[in-house]
Homo-oligomer: A and B are copies of this chain.
Amino acid sequence: MSLDANAEQTLAKWHKMVAARDLSRVGSLCTPDAVFRSPVAFAPYKGAPLVAQFLQQAMLVFEEFAYHRTFTAGDHSVVLEFSARVGDKTLRGIDMIRFDAGGRITEFEVMVRPASGLQALGAEMARRMGPILAAKQT
């Protein structure tokens, strides 16, 4: 029940990017058809560029972001527990990440609690992602 070596390598790169607060190359960790499942919306956002934009904007929104426990399921799935602050709201959450055989990210799902934290995060993400999503549709 320990992570595949390729996935482990991707996860190490992810942690390095987060520590440096520089996610400019995060798209390179994802498969082209990777999906992002937001804590707010039901429908997934598809494609590495969009996954990257969500992660980049979220990183700008979160303050005092810190990872805690790392959970693994089989050799291709992890859950990373985190805490963060958005404005005056403290929140706890998880990144649930699935990797393909080559170690690239195929699915990045985020959940947070409590409701007040989700609301603050959702409002801030809508403000930032709204123009990006609107531009994509035109």
Interface residues of A (CB under 8 A from B): 1-2, 37-42, 69-74, 77-79, 81, 90, 92-94, 96, 109-119, 122
- Name the one of B1, B42, B78 contacting A116, with C-beta atoms under 8 angstroms: B42
A72 touches B70 (CB 8 A): no
Q: How far is the CA of A70 from the CA of B93 in the complex (A)?
A: 17
Judge whether B113 and A38 touch: CB under 8 Å: yes
Instruction: Give Cα A1 to B79, complex, Å.
Output: 14
Report how many copies the assembly holds: 2
- The complex places the Cα of A94 from the Cα of B112 at a distance, in Å, of 10
Once A79-B79, A94-B79, A94-B94 are accepted as A-B contacts, the answer to whether A41 and B114 lie under 8 Å apart by CB is: yes
- Chain B contacts for A42, CB-based, 8 A: 90, 113-114, 116-117
Complex contact B71–A37 (CB within 8 A): no
Nearest chain B CB to A136 CB, angstrom units = 20
Do A122 and B113 contact each other (CB < 8 Å), given the known contacts A77-B69, A79-B71?
A: no
